[in-house]
Amino acid sequence: MSKEMKIKDLSSWPIKNTTRPLIISGPCSAETEEQVLTTAKGIKAAGIPIFRAGIWKPRTRPNSFEGIGAQGLIWLQKVKAETGLLTATEVANARHVELAVGAGVDILWIGARTTVNPFAVQEIADALRGKDIPILVKNPINPDLELWIGAIERLYAAGLTRIAAIHRGFSTYQKQKYRNDPQWQIPIELKRRLPQVPLFCDPSHITGDRNLLDEIAQKSMDLNYEGLIIESHCKPEEAWSDAKQQLTPQSLQELLANLVLRDPEANNEVINNTLGELRHLIDDFDEKLLELLENRMQIAKTIGHYKKENNITVLQNKRWSEILEKSLVQGIKKGFSEQFVSNLFKAIHQESINQQEDIMNS
């Protein structure tokens, strides 16, 4: 289905100016009418066309603030009436859809905790059938590209054609710089497979820290994302949820002003010729890499036959630890990140294991 999708671009959304990047901003949660309207007016002053606010909040613990509920929809209506901004909120079930659409919310999004559940996504898709409202789909909390694509496909099958994706990072148990691991290769692959689907970045949820928003926002622009969804609050330090990752509308305006926007393609023949020559070199190196990997795998197969003949197990933990440790040291010296080297050699090792297991079972 993915290749057959006829997704409308952002120019079909009810927005006068969809110049890249399209910005959606507002508080993590609608807390009070005053907070919502004050923030919305700041968002308006910053030149941002779409105001977002969480009405229903999926929380890990039941004693956490779970959103103001349907009352917040009245506040969104006031935002629209007083500022002219479009409004957006998260929906997690059919009832949310019914209430949000009935209240005139312009744009909906499906959160990461909902995307992970095909039953919930299908319920939302069924509730939206016949209503071609713009809807954004966040990546699932776990790094599963097929779940992300599957959610988009379910919405499209229900007749929705104004669909966009939001990259908000992936949960991890590992302690790291960001709240959620960006795993950029996943949204890049989504864009390769679904080039017609606009892609937004959510730096707020990736970083969990307002001081890191600019670097993630810039990287997403360098990767040619179409938009950003960033949390903004009139008084971030007093926010009832996710206070550390929200910033004031004024600070957001400064962040956006400092973004460097680059062209996806060069309009200069000399530049294009130079890029073509360099890409040709990369193609040559890629071919040589595959040849080297083929030769390495042939040796792994030979080892596999030897192990079978001598009744030796496929996995040799000590040897594998030695390979990985040595490769990490050498790779870091050559300027590669530890994560890249680790992922690369783990993939090569797994393929060697697979090849040797095939020999064992033959």
286-299 pLDDT, tens digit per residue, is 999 999 999 999 99
- Quickly count: other Cβ atoms within 10 Å of residue 360's Cβ: 14
Q: What is the mean pLDDT of residues 320-324?
A: 93
Instruction: Please state the pTM of the whole predicted model.
Output: 0.84
Burial of 84 (0-12, 13-18, 19+ CB in 10 A): exposed
Q: Which CATH superfamily is domain 269-360 in?
A: Chorismate mutase (1.20.59.10)
Say if residue 62's pLDDT is above 80.
no
Q: Which CATH superfamily is domain 2-257 in?
A: Aldolase class I (3.20.20.70)
Q: Do domains 2-257 and 269-360 have the same CATH topology?
A: no
Q: pLDDT of 183-204, one tens digit each?
A: 999 999 999 999 999 999 999 9
Q: pLDDT of 222-278, one tens digit each?
A: 999 999 999 999 999 999 999 999 999 999 999 999 999 988 777 888 888 898 899
Q: Mapping DSSP to helix (H, G, I), strand (E, B) and coil, where does residue 188 land?
A: helix
- Residue extents of the structural domains in the chain: 2-257, 269-360
> Computed from CA positions of residues 113, 117, 122, 127, in that sequence, does the dihedral angle turn out positive or negative?
negative
Q: Mapping DSSP to helix (H, G, I), strand (E, B) and coil, where does residue 23 land?
A: strand
